[in-house]
Amino acid sequence: MSTAGKPKPAFFIAVAAVVLGLVGIAVMKCNKKADKPTVDKVDIKDIKNQAGAPTQAENPDPNSVTTVKEYTFEAGSRLPQVPGTSDYKALGKTRVVRFAINIWAGWAPIIYANGGKGPGKIWKDAKGNDFQVELVLIDNPVNMGNAFASGDIHIGWATVDMLPLIVQRLNRDPRTMPRVYQQIDWSNGGDGIVGRDNIKTVSDLRGKTVVLAQNSPSHYFLLNMLLNAGVQPSEVEFKFTPDAFAAAAAFNADKKKEISAVVSWAPDIYTLADLPGNRMVVNTATANKLIADVWFARADFSRDNPDIIEGLVRGILDANTDLKDEAKKGEAAKWMDDLYGLPAGSALKMLGDAHWTNYAENRDFFLNQNNPTNFERTYNTAQLLYRSIRVLDTKVPFDQIMDFSVIQKLGKEAKYAEQKSEYEFKFTPVANDGINVESAILTKTVTISFFPNSFELKKKVAGKSGGAETLYDPNVENTIEEVAKLAGQFGAARIHISGHTDGSMRGSADDKLVRELSLNRANAVKQELANKYKMDPNQFVVAGYGWDKPADPKDPDNHAKNRRVEVKVVPAEAQ
């Protein structure tokens, strides 16, 4: 989430230096001869294809119910009970809901639906009764959390990556436990990393100094980029500032260029990237499904006012549809300027920083188990990260704060059920040489233990002492899920999958056969992503490099390390 004037939470500041026990893997650079992959036809489960060509007759439709595996537990069945007397500010006779927001383009739908700050406009709850909404601007998350805990506001805001820390603070009282009902948006270019000209990829940050606001969406964004690039956070020197604006100012003021990169948000990232000697390394226009904004209600308020909760979800979704009209979008921007205290016309320029999520996208986010960037996976990734750096004391499962009951209910109405996802990128088939692989912004090495001379991902072998068959690689499902999450987070980028073999038969095996095996391994990963996670197969480009690119050129005979697959993220401008 990118905002204008968004101080960082004080309850985050005490976090110690980030130490994650992950192995950093350097990006390999080999000679031009080795870079040329095979494009021979291969056979995967009776489907013949060529590197970079579609491997299916039809693309999967992410909006079709046949491609969605939904959560089977009843809505609300895993949410903690809310005992005791409610402890929030009374709604009053006119039933005014106090809804906190911050300065961010994502809130345009509710600002439009409410006709500005309010209260004034009449909303309708699920039973047709009137209520009103007062939008309360609380840009500081600490202050927002205090107001939410005290009951002064009924609805709070967050990015999903912030939720684990927010939940830890609020779960002391079951009445204040958050209930997340709706995704507002995906950050769509508003957050990013700007580096000096010598920072071409995320892995180039190894050993460098990066300035950013600690434990903010910017921090989460950077950590994700580093981990996916195989860089340990301990290999990067973090220079923390109170907020993202201070980070941008520090980067800009560094005339000696001792700071190699900054993590911030719009408009600063674009202003800095345009300056001589700087470049945009990556932003959420490419990593477009990483930072999600949501709103949540107090548990006691949700228990007492389910009809109002439904009315809020409906009103925001309907406003989302209304904002397809440019005139209405301009009207919303004027209200935003007034509410945010911005110069006239500022909010209109901000709107492109967020993609507002419609009903179909909310359904996919909350209900589709196979969506690699759904609420569960996004929340669990953040929770795992914070637990790894010992910020979280307890683990709160996602289904104790996610309430998809309203989204599920609205799916029975044609008005919503007929909506289609508007945030799906359409990729056309392209051969391996149709993209500039050297322009990849990060490389993730995936270790899958392939059986020798096999490209079968789920190959079973006899157990010890003749026991029951087991998977040759018992971690393969988790590994494929990691690739799916990466590809999903970079939904606007081309994903290059390269297969590799060990050199144990170097000098005796046919080179063409070795390359074909490596290509089959890359295609096996591609097929699994398309089949299980219903991802567009055209997003992936495959190549087989045989034994030409050992994982560690200094240790080319490390056969276990060399039987691998690598995933590169190639931004649209490099295609």
pLDDT at 28: 30
Lowest mean pLDDT among 60-64, 185-189, 402-406, 543-547: 60-64
pLDDT at 393: 84
- Round to whole Å and give the CA distance between 142 and 9: 5
Closest CA to 536 of 423, 436, 432: 423
- Round to whole Å and give the CA distance between 437 and 36: 11
Do 298 and 388 reside in the same domain of the chain? yes
Decide which of 388, 417, 446 is a domain's last residue: 417
Looking up residue 535, the CATH number of its domain turns out to be 3.30.1330.60
Q: What are phi and psi of 363, to 5 degrees?
A: -65, -45
Pull the structure tokens for residue 485.
């999450």
249 occurs within a structural domain: yes
Lowest mean pLDDT among 6-15, 88-97, 250-259: 6-15
Mean pLDDT is highest, among 36-40, 275-279, 530-534, for 275-279
Average pLDDT, the chain: 85
The DSSP call for residue 179 is: E
Do 397 and 542 reside in the same domain of the chain? no
Q: How large a percentage of the chain has pLDDT more than 70? A: 86
226 occurs within a structural domain: yes
pLDDT at 74: 58
- Round to whole Å and give the CA distance between 222 and 216: 10
Closest CA to 442 of 569, 292, 281: 569
- Residue 121 near residue 132, CB atoms below 8 Å: yes
Lowest mean pLDDT among 8-17, 403-412, 439-448, 533-542: 8-17
Q: How large a percentage of the chain has pLDDT more than 90? A: 65
Do 363 and 510 reside in the same domain of the chain? no
Mention every residue, 6+ apart, whose C-beta is less than 8 A from residue 549: 28, 30, 34, 498, 500
Do 433 and 408 reside in the same domain of the chain? no
Residue 264 vs residues 165, 222, 477, 524: alpha-carbon distances, Å: 21, 10, 34, 38
pLDDT at 198: 96
Alpha carbon of residue 169 to chain centroid? 23
Per-residue pLDDT, averaged over 299-326, amounts to: 98
Do 277 and 379 reside in the same domain of the chain? no
Closest CA to 353 of 551, 198, 188: 188
pLDDT at 209: 98
Decide which of 224, 253, 283 is a domain's last residue: 283
Decide which of 417, 450, 475 is a domain's last residue: 417
Tens of pLDDT, residues 158-208 = 999 999 989 999 988 999 999 999 999 999 998 999 999 999 999 999 999
- Residue 389 near residue 329, CB atoms below 8 Å: no
Do 505 and 469 reside in the same domain of the chain? yes
- Residue 423 near residue 363, CB atoms below 8 Å: no
Per-residue pLDDT, averaged over 17-38, amounts to: 34
Alpha helices, DSSP H, located in 95-162: 108-114, 141-150
272 occurs within a structural domain: yes
| Domain ranges, residue 116 | 88-186+291-417
Tally of structural domains, the chain: 3
Pull the structure tokens for residue 263.
């993590």
Name the more confident of 515 and 42: 515
Query: Does residue 65 have a pLDDT over 80?
Result: no
Looking up residue 413, the CATH number of its domain turns out to be 3.40.190.10
Do 549 and 448 reside in the same domain of the chain? yes
304 occurs within a structural domain: yes
78 occurs within a structural domain: no
Query: Does residue 147 have a pLDDT over 90?
Result: yes
66 occurs within a structural domain: no
Per-residue pLDDT, averaged over 515-534, amounts to: 94
pTM, rounded to two decimals? 0.82
Query: Does residue 520 have a pLDDT over 60?
Result: yes
Do 297 and 384 reside in the same domain of the chain? yes
Residue 201 vs residues 27, 210, 280, 406: alpha-carbon distances, Å: 9, 14, 10, 42
Do 381 and 314 reside in the same domain of the chain? yes
Closest CA to 290 of 359, 368, 178, 191: 191
Closest CA to 365 of 442, 329, 313, 324: 313
- Dihedral of CA 434/436/438/440: which sign? negative
pLDDT at 76: 54
Tens of pLDDT, residues 549-561 = 998 888 888 888 8
Mention every residue, 6+ apart, whose C-beta is less than 8 A from residue 572: 286, 492, 493, 494
- Using 50, 70 and 90 to split pLDDT, how confident is the model at 575? low
The DSSP call for residue 338 is: H
- Using 50, 70 and 90 to split pLDDT, how confident is the model at 31? very low
Do 182 and 196 reside in the same domain of the chain? no
pLDDT at 19: 27
5 occurs within a structural domain: no
Do 531 and 542 reside in the same domain of the chain? yes
Find the Cα–Cα–Cα–Cα dihedral 429, 368, 218, 244, rounded to 10°.
110
Amino acid at 458: K
474 occurs within a structural domain: yes
Do 548 and 568 reside in the same domain of the chain? yes
